[in-house]
Structure 1
Amino acid sequence: MQTTDGDEEFREYVRTRGPALLRAAHQLTGHPLDAEDLLQSALTKTYLAWERIEDRGALDGYVRRAMVNINISQWRRRKLEEYPSDELPETTAETVAFGDVHELLEQALDELPERMRAAIVLRYYEDMTEPEIAKTLGISVGTVKSTVSRGMAKLRAALGLSPR
Structure 2
Amino acid sequence: MRAATPDSSIPDGSTRDDDARRWSADDAIGALFAAHYRGLVRLAVLLLHDEGVAEDVVQDAYVALHRRWRRLRDADKALAYLRTSVLNGARSALRKRGVAERHIARGPDGPLIVASAETGALSLLRHREVLEAVRRLPTRQREAIVLRYYAELSEAEIADAMGVSRGAVKSHASRGMQALRQSLEAAL
How does the TM-score come out when normalised to structure 2? 0.62
1:43: which partner in 2?
62
Q: Which runs of 5+ in 1 are unaligned?
A: 83-94
Q: Distance in 1 between matches of 2:170 and 2:24?
A: 43
The alignment-based identity, stated in percent, is 33
Amino acid at match of 1:157: Q
1:149: which partner in 2?
174
How does the TM-score come out when normalised to structure 1? 0.69
Please give the residue correspondences for 1:8-23 in structure 2 after superposition, counting only pairs within 5 Å.
8-23=27-42
Residues 103 and 56 (structure 1 numbering): CA distance in 2 closer, same or farther, change over 3 Å?
farther
Contact (CA 8 Å) 1:30, 1:106: kept in 2 or not? no
Cα displacement (A) at 1:24 = 1.4
Amino acid at match of 2:70: E
DSSP-derived class of the 2:78 partner: helix
Q: Distance in 1 between matches of 2:24 and 2:161?
A: 30
Task: Decide which of 62, 66, 89 is 2:81's aligned counterpart.
Answer: 62
Q: Which has the larger radius of gyration?
A: 2
Amino acid at match of 2:67: L
Q: Distance in 2 between matches of 1:109 and 1:75?
A: 15
Cα displacement (A) at 1:121 = 1.2
Task: Decide which of 40, 46, 49 is 1:30's aligned counterpart.
Answer: 49
Q: Distance in 1 between matches of 2:47 and 2:72?
A: 24
Matched, 1:122 2:141: no
Q: Which runs of 5+ in 2 are unaligned?
A: 3-22, 103-119
Superposition RMSD in Å? 3.2
Residues 102 and 18 (structure 1 numbering): CA distance in 2 closer, same or farther, change over 3 Å?
same
Residues 6 and 133 (structure 1 numbering): CA distance in 2 closer, same or farther, change over 3 Å?
closer
Farther-moved stretch of structure 1 (7-16 vs 31-40)? 7-16
Matched, 1:71 2:115: no
Deviations 1:88-122 (A, max 9, x none): xxxxxxx9723443333222222222222111111
Task: Decide which of 157, 164, 167 is 1:139's aligned counterpart.
Answer: 164
Q: Distance in 2 between matches of 1:124 and 1:60?
A: 18
